[in-house]
Chains A and B, each alone.
Chain A
Amino acid sequence: MNTNYPIAIDHDGKSIWKFLISEMKPKGKFLTPFNIISIPIMLLGLGLIVYRFIYGIGSITNLTQDTPWGLWIGFDVVTGVAFAGGAYVLTFMVYILNMQKYHSIVRVTVLNGFLAYVFYAGALLLDLGRPWHVINPIIGNGFGVSSVLFLVAWHFLLYMIAQLIEFSPAIAEWLGARRAHKILSGMTIAAVIFGITLSTLHQSGLGALYLMAKDKIHPLWYSEFIPIMFFVSSIFAGLSMVIFEGSISHRVFFSQISEKNHKSQNSIIHGLAKICAGTMFAYFFLKMLVFIHEQHWDLLNTPMGYWFMLEMLGFVLLPMILFFYSYRTNSIPMVKVAAILTMLGVILNRLNVTVIGFRWDMAIRYIPSWMEFVVTMAVIFTEIWIFRWVINRMPVLRDSPSWATEKE
């Protein structure tokens, strides 16, 4: 075995720094429709963020003393993290259950998950009144071990590290760092096991955050089982995101994907649809059990009751049936429709717990300001920019260089 690997191979005779600088430059056409839409929103969002740090959170949000958490927590963090759940589900399938069929989409999913956590945890900083103290629970200026948020904060941090390790072989391949690649690849399985454990706990932890808000959340959405509901729904939320994102990536980054992976795409999508259908059935069943157990029949015939039934029937039961049916009929478009419906359902569910059903009985309801929406959009667009930058440079969708796959 040759141990004399160079730290990084020569990039066309350029030094590593010159290579990195050249990689910073944008690739491809600049004035695409996506760029034309996203750039103004990102700039406006940046301006609003500056304004917020000068004049306080209340200057650009509609948050009140009664609804201290709004769109930024309810959508950016709670919903965003649910959609990032695909990473732990897929790593479980590929590395723990050894389902090699799904190997080709692991990297892109982990990258997506990692970026989601980085940006949604970043969005959390915008929502903190005193963000310079964000390090306190980490350095021990108060270990609030009785707090669910303490657990969630630590898990976000640790899981980001775990995901970075899972993704790091791709970075090593990009830089041509053979030795680092070998070491980092060896760490994958440990990172995966750690990551799945962390995900289980903080996906449910995000639900557990709301356990103490017992009197504030509409009884159709509040139950002591919120943590379990959040965990189960994060499985199909994440996989629907994988299906949705995969179908877009396959169009946008068509040239990067090998013939073999193109062919396996449909079989992968059907596999994921099957898992979605199964977990959604379990979720629907659990929801029904809780509903019957809590005996809220009388609440069904109220506006919030109709809203609840819309969520459960239109955005859980219907996509579940579509997933089942698409698998029977081998229909890819139907899977995509089901995935989009599922994602809408997850957004609806998370917002119903965190925003819509939170203080549903107040005379003056919290409605997010347009500026909160702009900042949210800006965060999402920035994430997509970084995602595109990485895809265009690192072997995420395209195959790894031959030196990385050859056996030792």
Chain B
Amino acid sequence: MGLDRRVFFKLLGATGITLAIGKESLAKQANKNEVEFYGVLYDSSRCVGCRTCEYECAKAHGLPEPLSEVAAVRKTDETCNTVVNTYQTSKGEVYIKRQCMHCNQPACAAACLTQAMNKNETGPVTWNGDKCMGCRYCMVSCPFDMPKFEFHSANPKIQKCDMCFDRQKAGEKPTCVTNCPNEALMYGTRRDLIKEARRRIYEKPDLYVDQIYGERDAGGTGWLYIASVPFEELGINTNLQQSSYPALTKGFLYSVPSVFVLFPTILLGIHQATKNNQHKKEEEDEY
């Protein structure tokens, strides 16, 4: 009986290792395709605050049309995936568009226990209603607070920008990029966008702040921002960590297989040791 148990736990350990390695080899295969993450570069200095992107986004996603008169600073919610906020800054009125940042290593996708939140290999982070159980752990984890939940629905969905994933699959740009009248938005591979952002900052050092928000913040994001004023003045949290958010739980998750192998072994050992002791003192069976 004791031997059987040991074999069982060995199998358990082996299964854990196989699962871990199996996962890794899958990831390697994905790399072979050499698909690059696509993203969007938002140039705040070109944005005129017309909110066309808000209207077009609502239309494309079947959400209610935004109001024409709105507060200067708003948050996205379950009825709108993007907002353009207005800030009074040292350089006058400056606009800033907010939406899901489509992180390279999204906290929401790492948090999701059903993989309903998924980072697609072309960049967009999308939500799958056939998998989601509505636990809202993605909302707890997201450093940008972008997943929004329909609290007043019996069949609630998670709403957030999906970078127009369907349009991307059809070879089109996101609807906000296509419809921006002043070319404040630019769509492309993340690599090209960073080059373009650097070029703009280099060519007009007086206009831009020398920072590409999203290049390293939260481990790098699909949406990249450049602006004429420091990002703190635009209500953007610049204190986010530079490494990815899923890395925070890595240590804990890596300890799980070790605990699963070591604990049963040690516990069984102690049990055997104390049981023998008991037998010497008085003949008592284990239950």
Contact = CB atoms under 8 A, between A and B. Distances in A.
Contact of B155 (A130, A146, A213): A130
Contacts, number: 183
Interface residues of A, number: 68
A29 interface: no
Size band of the interface chain B makes with A: 35 or more
A136 B128 CA distance: 12
A247 interface: no
A334 interface: no
B274 A148 contact: no
Contacts of A192: 267
Contacts of B216: none
Interface in A124-155: 127-131, 133-134, 136-137, 141-151, 153
Interface stretch (A6-14, A96-104, A261-269, A373-381): A96-104
A144 B140 contact: no
A406 to B, nearest CB: 11
Interface stretch (A113-121, A199-207, A287-295, A309-317): A199-207
B277 interface: yes
Contact of A97 (B141, B150, B270): B270
Contacts of B251: 224
A65 B134 contact: no
B256 A129 contact: no
A85 to B, nearest CB: 16
A142 B274 contact: no
B237 to A, nearest CB: 7
A144 B151 contact: no
Given A58-B151, A146-B253, A193-B267, A141 B131 contact: yes
Interface of B: 5, 19, 23, 75, 77-78, 107, 109-116, 128-137, 139-141, 143, 145, 148-156, 237, 239-241, 245-246, 248-249, 251-253, 256, 259-260, 263-264, 267-268, 270-271, 274-275, 277-278, 284-287
Interface of A: 53-59, 61, 63-66, 68-69, 92, 95-98, 100, 127-131, 133-134, 136-137, 141-151, 153, 169, 185-186, 188-190, 192-194, 196-197, 200-201, 204-205, 208-216, 224, 227, 407
Q: Would you list the 3 A-B pairs with minimal beta carbon distance, nearest first?
A: A129-B134, A58-B151, A142-B115
